[in-house]
Structure 1
Amino acid sequence: MFKKILIANRGEIACRVIKTAQRMGIATVAVYSDADRNALHVKMADEAVHIGPPQANQSYIVIDKIMDAIRQTGAEAVHPGYGFLSENPKFAEALEAAGVAFIGPPKGAIESMGDKITSKKIAQEAGVSTVPGHMGLIEDADEAIRISGQIGYPVMLKASAGGGGKGMRIAWDESEVREGFQASKNEAASSFGDDRMFIEKFVTQPRHIEIQVLCDQHGNGVYLGERECSIQRRNQKVIEEAPSPFLDEATRRAMGEQSLALAHAVGYASAGTVEFIVDGDRNFYFLEMNTRLQVEHPVTELITGVDLVEQMIRVAHGEKLALTQDDIKLNGWAMESRLYAEDPYRGFLPSIGRLTRYRPPTETPDYLPGVTPAAPVVRNDTGVYEGGEISMYYDPMIAKLCTWGPDRAAAIAGMRDALDGFEVEGIGHNLPFLSAVMDHPRFVSGDITTAFVAEEYEGGFVGVDLPQDHLRRIAAACAAMHRVAEIRRTRVSGRMDNHERKVGTDWVVTLGDARFEVQIEADRDGADVTIDGATLRVESDWTPGNQLARVSVGGESVVMKVGKISGGFRIRTRGADLKVHVRTPRQAELAALMPEKLPPDTSKLLLCPMPGLIVRIDVAEGDEVQEGQTLAVVEAMKMENILRAEKKGVVSKVNAAAGDSLAVDDVILEFE
C-alpha cells in the first residue's frame, strides 16, 4: 500500500480524503494557497506545501505547482478530490510520466468522458440511452439559435468541459439562447479554460438520478445503486438522497447495467458516476459521466457500507475489487444537505466573511465509512471551523450534512433535527432553505423534479410560515424560557429572597402575527404551560445565554437557535426566523399601540445583491432603461449574475465601474 499520498484539493473533500488515508495508515500531504494558509485541511494533514496566490488558476489548477509539491514531499500517489484538476487528462499524464499513481481513472477515460460531446457518442455506441441534441461544437450565438430551433425549445446550453452548474443555461426562446450562450461561454472560460459549447433538448418534468460505479484495473466492476439529485438551484445540486424514491428495481438494474457497460467501454478503473435524466415514465437518458468522486458520495457510502475513497486508493494501488455485484445491498435511506455560504433570501447569491460561530450537530461517534449503519447516523463532512474565513475565490460550500435512517421518513426526521441544531453565524447561509425543503409536503412525498425550487419558490425564498400547532409549541417553549430568564434576573438583582414568587404566571406571547395568551405553573422539573385551552408539559435544560435550546413540548422535541432581543427572543427553527416577544398582559396592551418602523425606500437604487466584482456596466447617466433590460453584470465565485431593470426609468448616477469590488447593498446605479 502507498505510504504517502498528496491531496490536490482543498476544503471539505481534502479533509474527507485525509480521514480515510489516516484510518488506512497512509501519511497525507496538503497543498494550500495564500487564502487557505490556516485552512482545516492544512491543519489535518501530516505535511503541507504552499502553492501560490488565492486564485485557483494561479495555485490549485497549476499542474507544475502540484508536481513540484509531489517532488518536495515524495508522495507516491495523488487524490484529486473533485473540481480543480480531478478531470484534467494532462494532470493524469504528468503524474504517469513522473511515476506517481493517480487515484482516479486512466487518462483515456478522462478524455473520453470529460468532453460531453465525445462521451455522448461513446454512450450511444455502448447501448446507453441518450438525450436528443446537437453533437457538434457551436461557433456563435446565431448558430446556437438555428440549432435550437431544429431541436425544439426548451433547450439546454452546456459547456463541453462544464460541471457544478457552471456554463449551463436553459433557454426557452431565441432571445434567451442569444444571451445565455455568451454568458455560458464566459463562465466556462473562467472556470475551466475551455469555452466550447453544445446544445441538447431539455427534458420537461425531469429527475436527476445518477448511478455510482466502481471498477478496478482488472476488468471487474460493480454499481452501488443510485442517488436522487433533483433538488437544485442554478443547475447545482443542493439536497441528495439514496436511494431514489422514484425508481423501481427493474429501472435501477437497467441503469446500473448501462452505466457499467459505458465504464467498461472506456476502460474505466476507479470510482465514477454516470448521470441520467429520468422522466415521469421512468425513461432515462444519459447526461454525462463524472470521472471522479462526486460531492454527494457520502449518501452512497451510508446505504452500502462501502468507503469509496478507500476503494479508489486500493484500485490505484492495483488491487482487485473485493466486492461483487451480489455483495452490494442497499440498506436504509440517506440524506445529504449541502450547506452553502449563500443568501437564499437574495436568490441564493454567494456570501463571504468570517464564521463567527460554527457549531455543527454532534456526529455519530462510532460511524465510519465502510461500515453499514445499524442505528440513526449524523455525519458532517466539512472543511471549515469557527473563526475561519469563507473566501470569494472558491466554491461557497461549507459542509455536507448527512443523515441515515432505516427508511426515508427516518432519514428526513433526522435531517430536520440536525439542521435545527446546526449553528452558523457571521455569513449568509442556506440553512433556512434546507429546513424548509425537509418540511415541504411535495418533498416529503417524493414527488420532486429538477424544477422543484423554481416551481415551489417561484418568487424566491422568503422564509417559512410555520403551522399553527408548531407556533403554539414555540410559544409555550419561549414562555417557559422567559420565565427561567426572569428568575435569573431577580436573583442577580437580589430584589427578594423568594425569587420564584416575583415572576408572574400570566403572559402574552407574540410571534409575528400570531398571539397566544399563556399561563405557567412551574415545578422543579419543568412547567405546565396552558395555551389555547390546552396544557403542554415543557421540559428543558436551557439556561439564559445558551444559543441552542432543545425543548420537549407536550412530548415533542423542539430544537431552536436562540438570540436575545428586547422583551423576548429571536428564534430560528424549521426554516423560520421569528421575533418572539413575551410580555405581561399590560405590556402587550401597550405594545399593540406602538407604530411600526418602515424599511428605507430603495426603489430608485440598483444595489449590489452580493459581494462580487463588477464585470461590466451596460448603461450610462441619462440613459432611459426599460423593464427587464440588462443594467450590469456582477461576478462572484466564478458565476456571472445579470442585474436587470425592474421597471422603466432614467439613470441619474453611475456609482461603479468594471473591475470594482463591491459589498452587499453597495449602490451601483441611481435612478430619477
Structure 2
Amino acid sequence: MFDKILIANRGEIACRVIKTARKMGIKTVAVYSDADRHALHVEMADEAIHIGPPQANQSYIVIDKIMDAVKQSGAQAVHPGYGFLSENPKFAEALAAAGVAFVGPPVGAIEKMGDKITSKKIAQEANVSTVPGYMGLIEDADEAVKISNEIGYPVMIKASAGGGGKGMRIAWNDDECREGFQSSKNEAASSFGDDRIFIEKFVTQPRHIEIQVLCDAHGNGIWLNERECSIQRRNQKVVEEAPSPFLDAETRKAMGDQSVALAKAVGYASAGTVEFIVDGDKNFYFLEMNTRLQVEHPVTELITGVDLVEQMIRVANGEPLSITQDDVQINGWAIENRLYAEDPYRNFLPSIGRLTRYNPPAEGKLGDGIVRNDTGVFEGGEISMYYDPMIAKLCTWAPTREGAIEVMRNALDSFEVEGIGHNLPFVAAVMDHPKFISGEMTTAFIAEEYPDGFEGVTLDDDHLRRVAAAAAAMNRVAEIRRTRVTGTVGNHERRVGTEWNVALQGISFDVTTEADRDGATVVFSDGEKLRVEGDWTPGDSLSRMNINGQPLVLKVDKITQGFRLRTRGADLKVNVRSPRQAELAALMPEKLPPDTSKLLLCPMPGLIVKVDVEEGDEVQEGQALCTVEAMKMENILRAEKKGIVSKINAAAGESLAVDDVIMEFE
C-alpha cells in the first residue's frame, strides 16, 4: 500500500480524502494557493505545499505546479478529487511518466469517457440510448444556431470538458443560443482550460438519475445502486438522495448492468458515475460518464457501507475488488443537501466574506438516524471569490425516506452559518415541499415551484403557534434574567408578567404563560394550550425546544422587544410585548425601503467582464446590460424594463461589492 498520497484539490473533497487516507494509515500532502494558505485541508494534511496565486488557472489546474509538488513531497500516488485536473488525461499521463499512481481511471478511459462528445459516440456504438444532439465540435455562434434549429429548441449548450454545472446553458431561441454559446465557451476556458462546446436536445420534465460504478484493473466491475439528483439550479445539483424514490428494482438493474458494461468497454478501473435522464415511463437515456469521484458520493456510502475513496486507493494500488455485486445492498435511505455560499433571495447569486459563525450539527447518531457533514471550512475562515461556492455537504441517513427527511430537517435547523449569504433557508424549504416529500420532482423543480425566485418560507398556522409559544416561554426566561439584573425600584420588586402579545409573520397572538419548574404552558386566547420545555438561556444562539412533546429547533438572535427566529427555512421577526406595548406599537408608522428602481445594482461580489451599453442608450426589457463573473460563473444582468441609461459607474475589469451601483437610468 502507498505510504503517502498527494491530494490535487482543495476544500471539502480534499478533507474527505484525508480522512480515509488517515484511516488507512497513509500520510497526506495538501497543495494550496495564496487564498488557501490557512484553509482546513492544509491544516488537516500531514504536510502542505504552496502552488501559486489564488486563480485556479495559475495554481490548482497547472499540471507542472502539481508535478513539482509531487516531486517535492515524494508522494507515491495522487488523488485528484473532483473538478480541476480530475478528468484531465494529460495530468494522468504526466503522473504515469513520473512513476506516480493516479487514483482514478486509466488515461484511455479518461480520454474516451471523460470527454462528453467522445463518450456519447461510444455509447451510441454500444447501443446505449442517448439524447439527440450534435456530437461534433462547434466553431462559432452561427454554427451553434444552425445546429440548434436542426435539433429543435430547447437545447442544452455544454462544455465538452465540463462538470459541476460550469459551461452549461439552456437556450430556447436563437438569441439565447448565441449568448449561451459564448458564455459557455468563456466559462469552459476559465474553469477547465478547454473551450470545446457541444449541443444536445434539452428533454423537458426529466429526472436526473445516476449509477455509481466501481471497477478494478482485473476485469471486475460492479454498480452500487443509484442516486437521484433532480433538484438542480443552473444545472448544478443541490439535493441528492439514494436510492431514487422513482426507480423500481427492474429499472435499477437494467441501468446498473448497462453502466458496468459501458465502463468495461473502455477498460475502466476506479470509481465512476454514469448519468442518465429518465422520463416518466422509466425510459432512460445516457448523458455522460464522470470519470472521477462525484460530489454526492456520501449518500451512496451511507446506504451501502462502502468507502468509495478507500476503494479508489486500493484499485490504484493494483488490488482486485473485494466486493461482488451480490454484496451490494440498499440499507435505508440517505439525503444530501449542498450548503452553498449564495443568496437564495437574490436568485442564488454567489456570496463571499468571512464566516463569523460556523457551527454545523454534531455528526453521528441522531435518534434512529445518522448525520454526516463533509466540509472544508471553519469559523473565522474566508469564502473566496476564486472557487466553487460550496461550503459543506450535509447528509442524513435513516431506515426510511421519511425518517431521513425528518433527521435532515432537524439538522438544517441546527446548522448555524453567519457572515455570508447561504442557501440553508432554501434547502430547508425543499425538505418541507409536498413535491419533494412525495418524490414527484423533476429537474424543473426549482423553475416550476419558484418561478419568481425564492422569497422565503411562510409557516402554516400550527407551526406559527409552536414558534409563538416557544418565543413566549423564551421571553419569560429573558425577563427573569433582566429583573434579576435590574433588581428593585424603591420598595417595589420587579415582577415578570404572564400576559403577552406575540406578533410574527403578520399575525398576532394574545397568550398567557403558566410557568413551573420544568417549563411553561402557553395558553392562547382561543383556549389552545401548548406545553413548552427546553433549556434555552439568554445569549444562546440555538434553542432546542419540545412543544407538546415534538422537537422544535430555533436559531435565535435578540432584537428589541423580541427575537429573530429562524426555523424550517423561515426567517421571522418575533415581537413579544406586553398588552400595552402591543397597543402602542400598532400606532407606529411603517418604515419604507429606499427606491432603487432606477439603479442597476451589483447582485453579488464579482468582476465586471463587459458592459454592453453606453450612456444615452435606450434599452428594452430583457436586454443585456453587462456581465459579472463570480466564483467561475458568468452572470448576464438584463434590463427589467424599458429605459434610458443616464450614467455608467463601472467598467470592464473592475471588482464590485454587493449593491454597488453599476449604472443609473432616467
Kept after mapping to 1: 8 A contact 2:504/2:572: yes
Q: Distance in 1 between matches of 2:267 and 2:57?
A: 30
CA distance in 2, matches of 1:249, 1:540: 44
Partner of 1:586: 580
Q: Which residue of 1 aligns with 2:320?
A: 320
In structure 2, how many angstroms separate the alpha carbons of the residues matched to 1:65 and 1:132? 40
Aligned to 2:102: 102
Aligned counterparts of 2:202 and 2:69: Cα–Cα separation in 1: 43
Instruction: Give secondary structure in 1 for the equivalent of 2:412.
Output: helix
- The alpha-carbon distance between structure 1 residues 388 and 223, as it changes in their structure 2 partners (threshold 3 A), is same
**Which digits, 9 at most, give the CA deviation of each residue in 1:216-244, with x for residues without a partner?**
01000100000000000011000000000
Residue in 2 that maps onto 1:342? 342
Q: Does 1:669 align with 2:666?
A: no
Contact 2:483 2:494 (8 Å CA) reproduced: no
Aligned-partner Cα distance in 2 for 1:364–1:497 = 54
Displacement after TM superposition at 1:500 (Å): 9.6
Q: Secondary structure of 2:267's match? A: coil
Matched, 1:513 2:514: no
Secondary structure of residue in 1 paired with 2:422? coil
CA displacement at 1:25 relative to structure 2: 0.5
Partner of 1:254: 254
Find the partner of 2:565 among 563, 567, 571.
571
Q: Is the 8 A contact 2:18 2:44 kept in 1?
A: yes
Q: Distance in 2 between matches of 1:142 and 1:54?
A: 35
Report what 2:210 is aligned to: 210
Q: Indicate if the aligned counterparts of 1:354 and 1:390 stay in contact, CA closer than 8 A.
A: yes
Report which stretch shifted further, 421-430 or 160-169: 160-169
Q: Indicate the residue corresponding to 1:370 in structure 2.
A: none
CA distance in 2, matches of 1:510, 1:228: 40
Aligned to 1:371: none
Would you say 1:643 and 2:637 are equivalent positions? yes
**Aligned position for 2:607:** 613
Contact 2:95–2:101, Cα closer than 8 Å, also in 1:
yes
Partners of 1:499 and 1:529 lie apart in 2 by 27
8 Å CA contact 2:609–2:627 kept in 1: the answer is yes
Q: Deviation digits for residues 349-382 of structure 1, max 9, x if unmatched?
A: 00000000000000006x9xxxxxx941000000
SS at the partner of 1:161?
coil
Moved more, 464-473 or 163-172: 163-172
Q: Which residue of 2 aligns with 1:422?
A: 415
In the TM superposition, what is the alpha-carbon distance from 1:38 to its structure 2 partner?
Answer: 0.4
Give, as a single letter, the amino acid of the residue that structure 2 aligns with 1:623. Answer: D
Paired position in structure 2 for 1:656: 650
Per mean C-alpha deviation after superposition, the further-off stretch among 173-182 and 33-42 is 173-182
Within 5 A, what are the aligned runs for 1:345-356? 345-356=345-356
- Tell me: CA distance 1:523–1:642, structure 2 relative to 1, closer, same or farther (3 Å): same
Residue 487 of structure 1 contacts residue 500 of structure 1 at CA under 8 Å; is this kept in 2?
no
Partner of 1:473: 466
Establish whether residue 399 from structure 1 lines up as the match of residue 404 from structure 2: no
After TM superposition, give the deviation of residue 498 of structure 1 in Å: 12
Residue 328 of structure 1 aligns with an amino acid whose one-letter code is: V
Contact kept? 2:129, 2:285, Cα under 8 Å: yes
Q: In 2, Cα distance between the equivalents of 1:421 and 1:498?
A: 44
Cα distance in 1 for residues equivalent to 2:389 and 2:492:
49
Instruction: Note the C-alpha offset of 1:198.
Output: 1.0
Counterpart amino acid of residue 319 in structure 1: E
Amino acid across the alignment from 2:434? P
Taking the aligned partners of 2:615 and 2:562, their CA distance within structure 1 comes to 47
TM-score normalised by length of structure 1: 0.98
Q: Distance in 2 between matches of 1:319 and 1:127?
A: 31
Structure 1 range deviating more: 480-489 or 549-558: 549-558
Number of the residue aligned with 1:602: 596
Deviation of 1:126 after TM superposition, in Å, equals 2.1
Is the counterpart of residue 267 in structure 1 residue 267 in structure 2? yes
1:107 Cα deviation (Å)? 0.4
Q: Does 1:51 align with 2:51?
A: yes
* Letter paired with 1:549: S
Match in the other structure for 2:132: 132
Deviation at 1:195, TM superposition (A): 1.3
The alignment yields a C-alpha RMSD, in angstroms, of 1.3
What letter matches 1:139 in structure 2? Answer: E
Cross-structure match for 2:377: 384
Cα deviation, residue 341, structure 1 = 0.3
C-alpha contact 2:617 2:644 (8 A) present in aligned 1: yes
- How many angstroms does 1:21 deviate by? 0.4
Counterpart of 1:551 (choices 545, 550, 562) is 545
Cα distance change, pair 317–483 in 1 and its aligned pair in 2 (3 A): same
Equivalences for residues 113-124 of structure 1 within 5 A:
113-124=113-124
Q: Residue 502 of structure 1 corresponds to which residue in structure 2? A: 495
**Contact 1:130/1:286 (8 A) holds in 2:** yes
Partner of 2:19: 19
Q: Which residues of 2 match residues 260-299 of structure 1 at below 5 A?
A: 260-299=260-299
Residue identity over aligned pairs, in percent, reads 80
TM-score when normalising by structure 2: 0.99
Number of residue equivalences: 665
| Counterpart-to-counterpart distance in 2, 1:611 and 1:668 | 12
Report the Cα offset of residue 127 of structure 1.
2.8
CA distance in 1, matches of 2:2, 2:569: 45
Structure 2, unmatched stretches of 5+, are none
Superposition deviation, residue 182 in structure 1: 1.3
Tell me which amino acid in the other structure corresponds to 1:638.
Answer: K
Alpha-carbon distance between aligned partners in 2 of 1:235 and 1:73, rounded to the nearest angstrom: 37
Which moves more between the two structures, 147-156 or 397-406? 147-156
Q: Distance in 2 between matches of 1:90 and 1:646?
A: 45
Q: Which moved more, 1:57-66 or 1:171-180?
A: 171-180
The runs of 5 or more residues in structure 1 that have no matched partner are 368-373
What do residues 232-270 of structure 1 show as CA deviations (whole Å, max 9, x unaligned)? Answer: 001100000000000000100000011001100100000
- Distance between the aligned counterparts of 1:90 and 1:500, measured in 2? 79
Does the Cα contact within 8 Å between 1:491 and 1:499 map onto a contact in 2?
Answer: no
Output the amino acid matched with 1:380. Answer: N
Deviation of 1:52 (Å): 0.7
Secondary structure of the corresponding residue to residue 625 of structure 2: strand
Moved more, 353-362 or 188-197: 188-197
CA distance in 1, matches of 2:595, 2:509: 33
Helix, strand or coil for the counterpart of 2:512?
A: strand
**Equivalent in 449, 453, 466 of residue 460 of structure 1:** 453
**Which residue identity does 2:516 align to in structure 1?**
D
Cα contact 2:487–2:493 (8 A) shared by 1: no
TM superposition shift of 1:493: 1.1
Q: Tell me how far apart the structure 2 counterparts of residues 185 and 64 of structure 1 sit (CA, whole Å).
A: 24
The one-letter amino acid of 2:286's match is F
CA positional deviation for 1:425 = 0.2
Q: What amino acid does structure 1 have at the position aligned with 2:581?
A: Q
What is residue 480 of structure 2 aligned with on the other side? 487
CA deviations on 1:588-647 (whole Å, 9 max, x unpaired) are 011001000000000010000000000011111111111111111100011110111111
2:161 and 2:493 mapped to 1: Cα distance?
68
1:535 to 2:529 alignment: yes
Contact preservation (8 Å) 1:490, 1:496: no
CA change 1:285–1:499 in 2 (3 A) is: farther
Opposite residue 631 of structure 1, the aligned amino acid is L
Q: What one-letter code is carried by the residue in structure 2 that aligns with 1:43? A: E
CA change 1:500–1:250 in 2 (3 A) is farther
Residues in 2 aligned to 1:568 and 1:344: alpha-carbon distance in whole angstroms: 26
Range that drifts further, 241-250 or 130-139? 130-139
- Please say if residues 92 and 107 of structure 2, whose CA atoms lie closer than 8 Å, have aligned partners that are also in contact: yes
Looking at structure 2, the residues matched to 567 and 501 of structure 1 have their Cα atoms a distance apart, in angstroms, of 18
* Residue in 1 that maps onto 2:68: 68
